[in-house]
Amino acid sequence: MKAEILETIKSYDTIILHRHVRPDPDAYGSQCGLAEILRESFPQKNIYAVGKEEESLSFLAKLDSIPDDVYQGALVIICDTANEERICDTRYKLGDKIIKIDHHPNEDPYGDLLWVDTDASSCSEMIYEFYLAGRDKGLKLSDKGARLLFGGIVGDTGRFLYPSTSDKTFLYVSELINYNFSRTELYNSMYDADENVVRLQGYCLEQFEALPEGVGKLIITKEILDKFKVKVSDASQLVSILGQVKGLKAWAFFIEEEDNIRVRLRSKGPVINGVARKYNGGGHPLASGASIYSWDEVDSVIRDLIEVSVNYKG
Minimum Å gap between C-beta 123 and Mn ion is 5
Minimum Å gap between C-beta 150 and Mn ion is 14
Contacts of 152 (CB under 8 A, 6+ apart): 25, 26, 27, 28, 29, 30, 33, 122, 123, 124, 125, 127
∠ CA 151-155-160, nearest 5°, is 100
Nearer Cβ to Mn ion (30/41): 30
Regarding 102 and contact with Mn ion (CB under 5 A), the answer is no
**Residue number with the smallest Cβ distance to Mn ion:** 26
Q: Which of residues 37-96 bind Mn ion (CB under 5 A)?
A: 80
For 169, the enclosing helix (H) or strand (E) is: helix 167-176
What one-character-per-residue DSSP string does 80-134 give?
S-SSGGGBSSGGGGGSSEEEEEE-S--SS--SSEEEE-TTSS-HHHHHHHHHHHH
- Which residue of 125, 156, 256, 304 would you call a contact of Mn ion, by CB under 5 A? 156
Minimum Å gap between C-beta 26 and Mn ion is 3
- Which residue of 9, 15, 25, 26 would you call a contact of Mn ion, by CB under 5 A? 26
The DSSP 8-state label assigned to residue 69 in this structure reads G
Residues touching Mn ion, count (CB under 5 A): 5
Applying CB under 5 A, the span of 118-126, 186-194, 208-216, 243-251 interacting with Mn ion comes to 118-126
Residues in the site for Mn ion, rule: CB under 5 A?
26, 80, 122-123, 156
